Structure 1
């Protein structure tokens, strides 16, 4: 199986700490549950919703860059799926330096054949350009993301899609835990 992964909220449980960052920048003016729901649509959606200034956006990026990788752990059992897959690639809006720091911290960098990061010059999702590139090079079977914006580019180019911990009715498959996915694709237990 050849898999295209989103990073934040799909491979790594980053939303709790990102919610805390935005809560701090907003000086507690919005409940964390609302912030999380806005971030789960997209960062751009949250920025627009809260009417964030350029200074606030820069502050968010500064705070995110200062995070220690231990604050953004991988989801349970995702490594088993990564080990099993024939090819794993990532498409993320996160800067490459941050992606690599987290992957290396958890010893997961070795599982990825290629990464398209936010500073690689591709248009942002849902534009399919980065997905076209990765799919053309690796003949991918499935795109896994946690938000609709993560799977729309895959659908646009005819790939199968999977939403993780999100029941929005747009994907071909749905997952809540990687342990269940591993059992399904291997027919065995962890």
Structure 2
């Protein structure tokens, strides 16, 4: 079994850091739950909704990196799932340095065969399929796991089964809310 994973909001609960960074960037007293709702669509949509210019993206990434080191952590029972999978691959919009930092901080880096940092490696941002196609050159992928539609759209275009994590509002072959359900509901499913 080979799984392609999104990172933010899928492997690690990075949303508290993303929200704090966004609120700080906005220099406004924003409702954090509303900010989270927009960020779960994607950061570009959140920037547009709150009228934040794209020229501030580098500062947003810097703030995210700063807050991620303090607040981000892996979801419960994730390690059990990772250890049950032959090859785990990450495709993320997050930069390589902060992705690696968090994986190493929680002793999870050895579970991953490859990490693709979409923008650092010159791919078009998801939902474009280019980063997934790159992974498919080296690995057969059985499943793609993500928390947003933009994580699963490329998989559906490439006819790969999908798992939506903590988001029942997006189309997926499987929906789970916690990783303790992953092995019984997904990995042991006979349709795979």
Q: TM-score range by the shorter chain?
A: over 0.9
Instruction: Report the Cα offset of residue 175 of structure 1.
Output: 0.7
Q: Which runs of 5+ in 1 are unaligned?
A: none
CA-based RMSD: 1.6
- The more displaced of 53-62 and 18-27 is 53-62
Count of residues in Structure 1 that have an aligned counterpart in Structure 2: 187
2:133 and 2:158 map into 1 onto residues whose CA distance is 7
Residue 20 of structure 1 corresponds to 20
Q: Distance in 2 between matches of 1:177 and 1:76?
A: 7
Which residue of structure 2 lines up, in the alignment, with residue 126 of structure 1? 127
Name the residue aligned to 2:41.
41
> Alpha carbons of 1:54 and 1:154: their partners in 2 closer, same or farther (altered >3 Å)?
closer
Q: CA deviation at 1:135?
A: 2.2
TM-score, normalised with respect to structure 1: 0.92
Partners of 1:46 and 1:127 in 2: CA distance: 19
> Does the residue aligned with 1:85 lie in a helix, a strand or coil?
coil
Cα deviation for residue 56 of structure 1 reads 3.5
Q: Deviations over 1:118-162 (max 9, x none)?
A: 311111001101111212311010000000000000111110011
Q: Give, in whole Å, the separation in 2 of the partners of 1:180 and 1:106.
A: 21
Deviations along 1:100-135, one digit per CA (max 9) or x if unpaired, are 111111111111101110311111001101111212
The residue correspondences of 1:1-190 to structure 2 (distance < 5 A) are: 1-54=1-54, 56-67=56-67, 69-117=69-117, 118-184=119-185, 185=187
CA distance 1:50–1:78, shift in 2 (3 Å): same
Q: Is the strand fraction higher in 1 or 2? A: 2
- Does structure 2 conserve the Cα–Cα contact (< 8 Å) formed by 1:69 and 1:105? no
Deviates more, 1:65-74 or 1:33-42: 65-74
Q: Which runs of 4+ in 1 moved over 4 A?
A: none
